[in-house]
Amino acid sequence: MAKPLQLNASSTIAAANEAVEAASSGLVGEYDLLIVGPGVLGRLVAEKWREEHPGCQVFGQTVSTDHHDELIKMGINPSLKGTTATHRFPYVIFCAPPYQTSDYPGDVRVAALNWNGEGSFLFTSSSAPYDCNDNGPCDEDTPAVPIGRSPRTDVLLKAENVVLEFGGCVLRLAGLYKADRGAHVYWLEKGTVEARPDHILNLIHYEDAASLSVAILKKNFHGRIFLGCDNHPLSRQEVMDLVAKSGKFSKKFEGFTGTSDPLGKRLNNLKTREEIGWKPKYSSFSDFLGVSE
């Protein structure tokens, strides 16, 4: 069993460098995993990956040393972005958000260069690139927004293109949530939101996004785009009605006041489920909350 790095008096930076040296010295095993951006999703991926491959090492690359102590306690060997390892990894997952960098596609390219091409390289994207904003149906085969129409989707599509160029896979995820994180929490905090209540959104629990990511990594696919959602689209209003019905939140949501912002899409990922052999732990947001729709 690979032993997690122990923190000593020489600080987390020394521990991070030690992790990189371990990778550089050829101590990387056939199931070792590099997680670029080990946040909420990345940490769950680490946990599930280790369940599948008990003897493996998991490495986590971050933009700062702020959370290195936590990562070490979880058995994730931390390193800082920009630290180069001469050894490459059989499994790499990139789940860092675009807002932390000025060159997202460039960062994805660096991550791809850390992959040795043997196992799998996975990039967790968003379902935003699917060209649908009329609350209509949308699946894996729905065309993407053309490059040049939206700066937000441009960043994602350019990053996705880098991944596909390298033979990696893309997982476009619906809105991620858990009890204390997600759209419902943000809206509860705000109380009143200037957005239309009938906009359809799509969700996937963090645990399910992690289990789907691991299932895709294990298949060793190359150059594919997959979709992650729970197949239970809800309007914004329905989401907040379920939150109120659950009785699990102390704050009260006042309402949506918008009328003219864009509509959403109704995601369906049956093709991904069939091909990967995956199903979610939480079949819907109401299932997660333990209430009926």
User: pLDDT by residue (tens digit) across 37-59?
Assistant: 999 999 999 999 999 999 999 99
User: pLDDT by residue (tens digit) across 229-253?
Assistant: 999 999 999 999 999 999 999 999 9
pLDDT band at 7 (very low <50, low <70, confident <90, very high): very low
pLDDT band at 26 (very low <50, low <70, confident <90, very high): low
The yes-or-no verdict on residue 200 having pLDDT over 70 is yes
| Cβ(247)–Cβ(290) below 8 Å | no
| Cβ(88)–Cβ(118) below 8 Å | no
Percentage of the chain lying above the pLDDT 90 cut: 80
**Mean pLDDT for the chain overall:** 90
Handedness of CA 282, 285, 289, 293 (dihedral sign): negative
Per DSSP, the three-state class of 268 is coil
Residue with tokens 């209540």: 197
Residue 246: CB atoms within 10 Å:
15
163 or 21: whose pLDDT is higher? 163
| Cβ(230)–Cβ(283) below 8 Å | yes
Nearest Cα to Cα of residue 61 among 108, 26, 116, 11:
108
Angle at 71 between CA 55 and CA 5, to 5 degrees: 55
Residue at 229: amino acid letter: C
The yes-or-no verdict on residue 27 having pLDDT over 80 is no
The yes-or-no verdict on residue 14 having pLDDT over 70 is no
User: pLDDT by residue (tens digit) across 152-199?
Assistant: 999 999 999 999 999 999 999 999 999 999 999 999 999 999 999 999
Nearest Cα to Cα of residue 248 among 198, 184, 195:
184
Nearest Cα to Cα of residue 226 among 130, 111, 113, 110:
130
Residue 10: per-residue pLDDT: 39
| Cβ(29)–Cβ(57) below 8 Å | yes
